[in-house]
Structure 1
Amino acid sequence: MDKNIVIIGMPGSGKTSLGKKLSEKLNYHFIDMDHYIEESRNRTIASMFEEGEVVFREEEIKASQELADTAQTVISTGGGIITQEASMKALKRNGLILFLDRPVKNIEKDIERDSRPLLKDGKSRLQELYEERIELYRLYADLIVENVLDEDTVVEAMAAAINQYESRVEE
């Protein structure tokens, strides 16, 4: 398969760490979209958010369009990418969208040491974000994999879901 694997999910759901492992397993390239945006725009996401979330989302749309032209790449997106239809349409053009679903209570254990702009208000905001976004994650997802076990087991589940999806598409 030449398509990209685009991982969506809540902040703290494991998109980056599991995405890296999945890319190694599939022998794909790996791109963390937030790092890509920071490096290609030569500024931090926090500085974009200081100008307003809309500034960051505009850069995210542009980056989505750029990354849609890659192939055989696992792309770890930012948690809010699903709020921008243009980003999702671009990524879906050459990508299989995998929603990595991790329970909020599991994410909460990790956010104390997190510096992401939308998580600065802590646990109550995390639950609000989940409730605001869950339907969009499900809407855009071609595949849904729960992240409730150890990393290696979840990566195996991701790879198996991708293989199953490919088999169905080829029939």
Structure 2
Amino acid sequence: MVTRLKKTVVLVGMMGAGKTAVGTQLARQLGVPFVDTDHEIEAAAHRTIPEIFARDGEEFFRARETQVLERLLQGAPSVLSTGGGAFLAEANRDLIRDKGVSVWLSADLDTLWQRVRNRNTRPLLRTPNPRRTLADLLAAREGIYAQACITVPSKRGTSVERMAQRVQEALAAYPDVMED
């Protein structure tokens, strides 16, 4: 029996939650394309996200993020990985709700910190105390992420393959997302 994805799955959550890794595996399991919105923004701008933030600011970046998200949601069903701040904008949440299904990969602070602490590609963590900044971002964003259609907890030690399987199981239980 072949299962077909009827809507685009949009993975949301904090940096380090596993959106790209889990999304890549989930797309492979479902036989659909995987697209990372941050990579799409970088390709369109011919600059990295840190360069966009430094030159044009966060507001400019967020506007491009909405444009890219809108374009990607018009296409055939796929798995989209979004940047950590994408779901914060009400316009983006509305777009996702209208054209796809949102899945929050939730993770605790320790798990997130273990995954992002050695990376310098996170412009929002370029602060004197990046762990405290991450904690503040998590506290400020959790209530918004909780508005996602589906929540799948991401715990340290869970394999990417198992996480993708858990997301697929949650999608199968959610109405009007998959069909046989």
Q: TM-score, normalised by structure 1?
A: 0.92
* Correspondence for 2:167: 158
Identical pairs, percent: 30
Q: Gaps (5+ residues) in structure 1?
A: none
Whether 1:27 and 2:31 are equivalent positions in the alignment is yes
* Correspondence for 1:117: 123
* Correspondence for 2:134: 126
| Number of equivalences | 169
- Name the SS for the 1:162 alignment partner: helix
Q: 2:105 aligns with which of 91, 100, 103?
A: 100
Higher helix share: 1
Aligned-pair distance for 1:61?
1.1
Equivalent AA in structure 2 for residue 17 of structure 1: A
Root-mean-square deviation (CA, aligned residues, Å) is: 1.7
| Alpha-carbon separation, structure 2, partners of 1:168 and 1:89 | 17
Higher RCO, 1 vs 2 (CA within 8 Å, ≥6 residues apart): 2
CA-to-aligned-CA distance 1:13-55 (integer Å, 9 cap, x gap): 0000010000000111100000011112222211221121101
Q: Gaps (5+ residues) in structure 2?
A: none
Alignment of 1:1-171 (within 5 A): 1-50=5-54, 51-114=56-119, 115-121=121-127, 122-139=130-147, 141-148=148-155, 149-166=158-175
Aligned-pair distance for 1:11?
0.4
Q: TM-score, normalised by structure 2?
A: 0.88
